[in-house]
A = this chain, B = another copy of it.
C-alpha cells in the first residue's frame, strides 16, 4: 500500500464520481454519482473507495492516512448543501451509511440509518420536524440498528424490550407507542448495549458513530457470510467494499412523505409501464418488514399527483440515460422526491426478451445490444411451463434443478407401471420417482410428466435423458427416502404414497405437494425477432441431439439446423426391441447373432425414417451403437432376488413335484441369464467393450445399422425428399478403427444404394471422445469427413472422473474452490479445452475440409459455446430445448468477439 502518498484521494463526493467508476466506488456509489451528475435529485453524500477498504486491511484494520480527514471534509460539503450540521442539536444532519462493492453481495453490512442522532440531536430533530414522537422513534431505531450491526449486539435482545413495551399498550402496535414508551425503550436499549459490550457506552458523539460505522462496513467485507458468498460465487477477495455516506431524507414525516421502489418496465412481462410499489408515511424498512401492505405505483398519481409526474419523468430519464430498464428506490420527504438508488433491473426471461426487442423499436439500443441484453440461460424459462408464481404451494423438498419446466402428476415408482399408465386411454399424468434411473427405466421416463430422483447429479442419467426430452426433472433430492416395496416415499415426517399428486419444478429444483397450477410458455413475436437477429449474426451453426422423430421435430421448431447426435441405442429399449437385442447379445455365434439382428433391422429402419422425415433437407448425424452390451441385460440384483424368491416358493409353497420341476426350470433359466450377465459384467463399463469396439468385434452389428440407415435414406430420397445422413463412429482411439468401420459403412452403403438404384449423399466421421483420439487427430482425420467432440466422455477420461460417481467429491471440490465449476456442466477449458483445440487443429491440418462440432452436454452451455466458437468449430449440438439458448449464445460470442477485435 506504499504506493499511496498522503494526498491520495480516498473519498469522492457524489458529484465527483460517475457511473463508470464502479470498481472504485462500488455499484451503489457509482450509481448515485451518475444520478447526481445527471441532475437527478439525490440526497447529497460521499463515497469512501474500495481502495480505502483494501488499505484498511493492509494496515491491520486502520484507516489509511488521510481518509478520515477527507471524509470529514466531504461531510462538511454535505452540511453546506443541506444547510444542516452533523451533531448540531439545533439543526442536525443525519446520514445513512451503506456498504457497496462492485458486485452486489449479500452478507455484507447493509445499512445504518439515522446516524448522527444522540440524546441532544434527537431533540433538534423533534423541533425541526415538529414531531417529537417521530424523532424518538427514529432514535430508538438507530440505537438498535447501530447496536446490532455496528456493535454486534444480538438483535433479539432489542426486539424483546420493544415487544414487552408494546404489549403494555392498548393496540400493541408500533404506532401505539407513546413518547414516554419510546423514551423508556431508548434507555433500555442503551443499557443493553452497555451490558453486552461490557461497559462500553452507546457512543453519543456523531463522529464516533460515523467512524465506527465505516469500520463496521469494512469489517463486514471479511465477515463469515461475505467470505462464504465470495467463495461460492468465485469473487476475488481484493475487490473490497466502498462505504456510502448520504444525508438522510425521511419518508415518514407525514402523509406527504413516503418511500417506494419503481421499475421502468414490468420485470415479469417486460411491458413498458411504470411498475412498483410504495408506502406513504413510512421508511424503507417498513416496506421490507411487510407490516403495512404497499400500494401499486399507479395509485401514486391519485395520492400525490405532482410527485407521480416527477417520478415518471425522472425514471424515464434514468432509463434513457442507462439505456436499460431501471430498478429505482425513492423517498418523498414532505412532497419532495429524492432518488436513492438506481440499477439495471433484474427481469424474467420473458421480460428480458420483450424489453430488449422493444427498446430497439424505441431507438434506445441497437440490435446487437439487444442480443447481448438477454442471458442465454434465461431462455430456458420461456420454453417450459412454470409454477404460477402467485399460487399457494407447499414445498416438500428441494433437489437439483436438472431439467427445467414444471409438471404435476401422480407418484409412480415402477417404470413398468408408468408405461402402462401412459398407454391407458385416460392416461393419468405421472411423476416417475426413483432412487436413480438407468437405461432400463427409459420406457418409464418416456411417458412421465417429470422425473424425480433421490440420488445423482446434474449430469446423471435421469438429468441427461430428461433434458434431452425437454421433460422436467429434479435429481439428487437427498431428503427423500424411497421404500418401493411399501409404495411410499418419505421426507422427514411427511409420507407420500404411490398415486398421490406431486408437482416437480425442474427450473428451481422444488418438489411441491399436490397439484400446483402451472403457466404454459408462450413464444411470441419478440422471441422470434430476437432469435432472427441472433441468427443473422452468429458464425457457429447450432444442431440438436435427438434420438427420434418427435424430438427431432421439436428441435427443428426451435431452430436446429440439423441433428448433431442421434443415439441409436436409445432405440433399443422398447420391449420388443429389448428382447431381440438380448437375443443378439446372448447369441453363441455369428449366425444366431445375425438372425437376431434381422429382427432389429426393420425397427431401426423405421426410427431412421421418422428422423429423416422430421429433418428433411438438414444433415442428421447418426452414431452407431455405443453403450456396453450389458446395459441391455436385466439388472443383476433383480435376477438374484427373483431366483431367491423362486427358491422360497419351492420350499414353502410348491404344490406338486410337477410344480417344483417347473419352478426349477425357471430358476435354471434365470441362473443362465445371470451367468451371461456376469460374463459381460465389467469393472469399469465406461472404459469397456463399447463404442466402435463393438463394431470391430461384431461387424454384423454395424452392418445391420448401416443397412437400416441407408434403406431409410433411400426410401426418403425415393419420395423426392432431401436427406443427408452423416454416420458417426463412436469411441475411436486409433485411426485403424475408423478406417475399418468406414470401409464397412461404405461397402454396405454402396450395396443398399445399388439395390435401390439411388445415390444418397452421406459422410462418415467420428466422435472425438478419448484423449488419444484428440492427440492423434491428424491421423484419424485422414479417414473422417467430420469430427464431433463428445465432451461428456472426453471430460470423464481427461479428468479421470466418472460422471456417475463424481458427485461424491465434486460438490466438495467446488465448495472448496479446488475446481471452479462442475466440469460436466461447464467445459473444462484449461484441460479438456486443450484437447479440443489440439484435435481441431491437427484434424484440419491433414484434412482442411474437416467439419468440426461438439455434441456433449456442453454444447448447450454459453461459456462452453463461446470456447467452441473461439477455436473455430463449425457447430455445436445440444438438447432440443437448449437450441434457442445456443443460437443466442453463439450470436453473443460473435458480437463480443468483434468487440474485442475492435479494441
Contacts and interface: CB of A to CB of B under 8 A. Distances in A.
Contacts of A771: 771, 797-798, 800, 831, 835
B802 A682 contact: yes
A819 B696 contact: no
Interface in A448-479: none
Contacts of A830: 776
A797 B816 CA distance: 26
A361 to B, nearest CB: 48
A808 B684 contact: no
A729 interface: no
A734 B684 CA distance: 23
Interface string A769-800: 11110011000000000000000010011111
B689 A687 contact: no
A776 B831 contact: yes
Interface string A53-90: 00000000000000000000000000000000000000
A625 to B, nearest CB: 14
Contact of A802 (B683, B799, B818): B683
B831 A772 contact: yes
A687 B801 contact: yes
A802 B687 contact: yes
Contacts of A697: 808-809, 812
A685 B805 contact: yes
Given A771-B798, A772-B828, A831-B733, A804 B683 contact: yes
Interface in A120-169: none
Interface string A729-741: 0010110110010
A802 to B, nearest CB: 4
Contacts of A809: 689, 693, 696-697
A802 B819 CA distance: 26
Given A770-B800, A812-B696, A831 B775 contact: yes
Contact of A798 (B644, B772, B831): B772
A737 B689 CA distance: 32
A805 B652 contact: no
Interface string A715-759: 000000000000000010110110010000000000000000000
A741 to B, nearest CB: 11
Interface in A653-697: 682-689, 693, 696-697
A96 interface: no
Interface residues of A, number: 53
Given A775-B835, A809-B693, A828-B772, A804 B651 contact: no
Nearest to A691: B800
A344 interface: no
A194 interface: no
Interface string A406-430: 0000000000000000000000000
A891 to B, nearest CB: 31
A806 interface: yes
A687 B640 CA distance: 27
Given A685-B805, A687-B805, A809-B696, A799 B817 contact: no
A394 interface: no
Nearest to A688: B805
B796 A687 contact: yes
A832 interface: yes
A4 interface: no
Nearest to A683: B804
A813 B819 CA distance: 37
Interface string A525-555: 0000000000000000000000000000000
Nearest first, the 4 closest Cβ-Cβ pairs linking A and B are A687-B802, A772-B831, A684-B802, A688-B805
25 contacts: A640-B640, A644-B644, A648-B651, A682-B805, A683-B686, A683-B802, A683-B804, A684-B685, A684-B805, A685-B805, A688-B802, A688-B805, A689-B806, A689-B809, A697-B809, A736-B818, A771-B797, A771-B798, A772-B798, A772-B799, A772-B800, A772-B828, A776-B831, A797-B797, A797-B800
Given A684-B804, A772-B799, 10 more contacts: A682-B802, A684-B685, A684-B686, A688-B806, A696-B813, A697-B808, A740-B818, A771-B835, A772-B800, A775-B831
